[in-house]
Amino acid sequence: MNTKLYIFLFFLCCFELQAEEFCPNDTLSYKQIEQGSLNLYVFYPDNQKAGVNRPAIILFFGGGWNGGSPSQFYQQCAYYASCGFVAISAEYRVISKHHTTPFECVMDGKSAIRYVRENALKIGVDPDKIIAGGGSAGGHVAACTAMIDGYNEEDASISSKPNAMVLFNPVLDTTKKGYGASKLKGKEIELSPNHHIKNGLPPTIVFHGTSDKTVPYENATFFVSKMKKAGNKCELISVEGADHGFFNGSFFRPKNDDTNFNLTMKESVRFLSECLNLHDRIK
């Protein structure tokens, strides 16, 4: 066999094995829109049993509200599932595909959390242990589910507020001091988490690279400082010299070596275990 062809087939096989490792166990439709269904891609722990309700983490992909894919967080979902979480990567509307705005992204984020909470027993989830997370614009969507009032498309009696948040270089300021002001058409402050900090918000851990050229690191330090001053539990893990997207695993970003992926996973599990008292429920 040609040597180059052999090498190509070897790496193709390795990729397919890795892709299978990060394949969701289930797909759930949580919302109908004009273009079809919006889905949740669910990863269960290996020992998932009927009648056992586990903490859940719902992750929202990045992409500037313009694009992106739920597969960005498949590696994280597999990790969280191995620790005992029901881990979910959520699809939501984006500008390039659905011709929407960041406001619809936030609506979808709230819808996803409401769906999981309303169907918690069917999915095997503890409705009082639902975590929202995401990267970049997806981190913004996650933060807004807890921090921004309004923009509800379902029964508001079912809370869209998560019980904790895990945010990876999130967009926290949508004014000109942060990211995305041009996409909000003069309504920047309405969806800017840094302008909606108050007491009573969920415990939050933020991961941010000090050399982020897309979302200013200073937005994260401001957020964490103000959260603490408001009486909320909030922690910042700064990664020295890291640029935007440093947290992505090698499945989504092959050039990454998983060092920062492993750091963010271990620290987030530690934080969630402490703040949600999960010591006897996860590994």
- Indicate the domain borders of the chain: 6-275
Q: How far apart are CA 21 and CA 71, in angstroms?
A: 12
Cα–Cα nearest to 65, from 35, 34, 95: 95
Buried b (16+ CB within 10 A) or exposed e, 148-186: beebeeeeeeeebbbbbbbbbbbbbbbeeebbbbebbee
Residue 96 main-chain phi, psi, to 5 deg: -65, -35
Looking at residue 170, its pLDDT comes to 99
Q: What is the mean pLDDT of the chain?
A: 92
* Average pLDDT of the residues in 230-254: 96
107 and 94 in contact (C-beta within 8 Å)? no
First to last CA, the chain: 46
> Residue 183 has which token pair?
């996409």
Q: With cut-offs at 50, 70 and 90, classify the pLDDT of residue 20.
A: low
Q: Which amino acid is at 9?
A: L
Q: How far apart are CA 81 and CA 87, in angstroms?
A: 6
Q: Is the pLDDT of residue 96 over 70?
A: yes
Beta bridge partners of 47: none
- pTM of the prediction? 0.91
Cα–Cα nearest to 104, from 136, 65, 134: 65
| pLDDT per position as a tens digit, 110-136 | 999 999 999 999 999 999 999 999 999
Q: With cut-offs at 50, 70 and 90, classify the pLDDT of residue 1.
A: very low
Q: What percentage of residues in the chain have a pLDDT greater than 90?
A: 83
Q: Is the pLDDT of residue 50 over 80?
A: no
Beta bridge partners of 33: 36
Of the two residues 282 and 273, the one the predictor is more confident about is: 273
CATH class (in words) of the domain with range 6-275:
alpha beta
Q: Is the pLDDT of residue 21 over 80?
A: no
The tokens 């990876």 sit on which residue? 168
* Average pLDDT of the residues in 94-118: 97
| pLDDT per position as a tens digit, 161-176 | 999 999 999 999 999 9
DSSP H helices in 28-100: 74-83, 95-98
Residue 6's Cβ-side half-sphere holds a number of Cα atoms within 13 Å equal to: 3
| pLDDT per position as a tens digit, 204-240 | 999 999 999 999 999 999 999 999 999 999 999 999 9
Looking at residue 257, its pLDDT comes to 87
Which CA distances in Å does 29 have to 38, 90, 118, 160, 163? 6, 10, 13, 17, 22
Q: How far apart are CA 250 and CA 254, in angstroms?
A: 4
